[in-house]
Amino acid sequence: MDTQQAKLELEQFAQHFDYDNGYIVQLLEDSPEAFQAFAAAQGMPNLHRSLPLDAFFVAKVAVMKTEDCGPCMNLSLKMGAEQGIDRELLKTIVTDPQSLPPNLRDIHDHAVDVIRNENDDADRMERIRNHYGIEAFAELAVVIVGCRIYPTLKRAMGMASTCELAKLDF
């Protein structure tokens, strides 16, 4: 993909989701090669062939809430709502994750613990594998890792100075 096409797609994405992706545009402008390496990893946070969509978004929002200063989490909430995830479920992930249904709470707690580098809860991981399957568990791992690249890139580019609270009006 050429640089102009990439800029156009980034602009369309930013407009569609009302999201400031200036840090990604800056990466593209500074080094198209670095952008290409980053772009190659962008499939990771979107993988959910075996992982059900609700569990997928629980993981995404949990990672972004834990890892991010708000904008990426709000983007994940908007994307979830756009893909048909119940808005009350999305609000619960942010405001009261302990009240999630047990299987989704396991997804949430696993994602948060991975991000915080805490508590390798073998029993919880086994429950997730048993409920969703081995392939879904592998996808969950890739989603967790993949979601981190956005807020980490933003911080690495020195462009994470703007925080915002969760916007529950998606």
Better-scored residue on pLDDT, 166 or 21: 21
Say what the pLDDT of residue 35 is.
96
Average pLDDT over residues 12-40: 95
Say what the pLDDT of residue 1 is.
65
pLDDT band at 169 (very low <50, low <70, confident <90, very high): confident
Average pLDDT over residues 25-48: 94
Average pLDDT over residues 116-128: 94
Is residue 75's pLDDT more than 70? yes
Topology of 45-156 in CATH?
Answer: AhpD-like (1.20.1290)
Tally the residues of the chain.
170
Integer Cα distance of 51 and 129 in angstroms: 11
3-state SS string for the chain = CCHHHHHHHHHHHHHHHCCCCHHHHHHHHHCHHHHHHHHHCCCHHHCCCCCCHHHHHHHHHHHHHHHCCCHHHHHHHHHHHHCCCCHHHHHHHHHCHHHCCHHHHHHHHHHHHHHHCCCCCHHHHHHHHHHHCHHHHHHHHHHHHHHHHHHHHHHHCCCCCCCCCCCCCC
Average pLDDT over residues 126-143: 98
Average pLDDT, the chain: 93
The structure's pTM equals: 0.90
Say what the pLDDT of residue 168 is.
75
Q: Boundaries of CATH 1.20.1290.10 in the chain?
A: 45-156
Say what the pLDDT of residue 124 is.
98
